[in-house]
Amino acid sequence: MDKVTTYSEAIRDALDEEMSIDNKIILMGEDIGLQGGVFGTSRGLYEKYGASRVMDTPISENSFVGAAIGAALTGLRPVVEIMYIDFITLAMDQIVNQAAKIKYMFGGKAKVPIVIRTQGGGGKGNASHHSQSLEVFFCHIPGLKVVMPSTPYDAKGLLKSSIRDDNAIIFIEHKLLYNITGSIPDSNYTIPLGKADIKKEGEDISVVSISYMVNKALSAAASLEDEGISPEVIDLRSLYPLDIDTIISSVKKTNHLLIVHESCSRAGTGAYILKEVLPDIFDYLDSPPVILGGLDSPIPYSYVLESAIIPSEEKIVNTIKKIMHNLIKNK
């Protein structure tokens, strides 16, 4: 039987279920204990599992990520929360030079089963130090997996799979998703990493997106249906592993591709995705593939300016119309 829950509660349920199954799982992060996390994702877990498994850390990301890597090397399975993805830059040496490389450098004899949960994205007027989308940093690093769920159902199933994985994983939750609701099964379920989900089937154009941008793409698609345009919306769910096959199959059907993401367009998420799929879709495209990403600017504090930086539903609609209009005009 399904239940309706928020994205935040789905994250908490995943943590609780996995901790009840495996006592090697520990949580680490700022204010995740008595306070239950800034976004409520660990509420009640400190009282249930105690301070030895739910650890409030000092405000020192480099230090507690390093401690978590050490814990993982000795057999524990840490889930680390970094409050905002902007602060993950303070732990880049530990993540990029240690967590990502240890398994390879020791020939698989050592492993780092660590999940680094963090919150990214803009949309709340939190300014440049609390609003960035840095996911593409980690797509560049061999040894890391990058997961970005867009729904409560996906958040729970993907987090459980991430915790059980023996690799280092960057698990990014968008700040605007925590309060959205959705149905999840009461049963214990997981979702495999690297498998995209077609959130809406369509015939005219493939719209590939990730995280909160999926919601905007779906809203845009719904409004375009009324005008006779049928977009197919693909939620990648993870950027690495990347489900190339689902994108290729969709473009073979629609013959058009739009990639929508929130990070800066320059050397951004869309460029990475397009590079991976272009050789296999080139012959099926009836129009040039288009990337709609964030503008190349720090995120402003002003909500009006921030809204101009980040792709909106209106921008998605207008971009799709332009692609389809050019097709008709060229015919």
Is there a catalytic annotation at residue 61? yes
Is there a catalytic annotation at residue 81? no
Tokens (6 digits) for 21 = 């199954």
HEC readout, 228-247: CCCEEEEECCEEECCCHHHH
Distance of alpha carbon 55 from alpha carbon 297, whole angstroms? 36
Number of continuous H segments (helices) and E segments (strands) in the chain: 12, 14
> Could you say which of 61, 173, 232, 306 is catalytic?
61
Closest by Cα among 246, 220, 242 to 231: 220
Contact 237, 216 (CB under 8 A): no
DSSP H or E stretch at residue 273: helix 269-281
> Could you say which of 9, 30, 81, 130 is catalytic?
130
Which residues partner with 144 through β-bridges?
168
**CA distances (Å), origin 272, targets 164, 197, 238, 322:** 27, 19, 13, 23
**CA distances (Å), origin 278, targets 6, 226, 257:** 36, 30, 10
Whether cis (ω within 30° of 0) applies to the bond prior to 241 is: yes
Interaxial angle between packed helices 313-330 and 212-225, expressed in degrees from 0 to 180 and rounded to the nearest 10: 50
Positions annotated as catalytic residues are: 61, 130
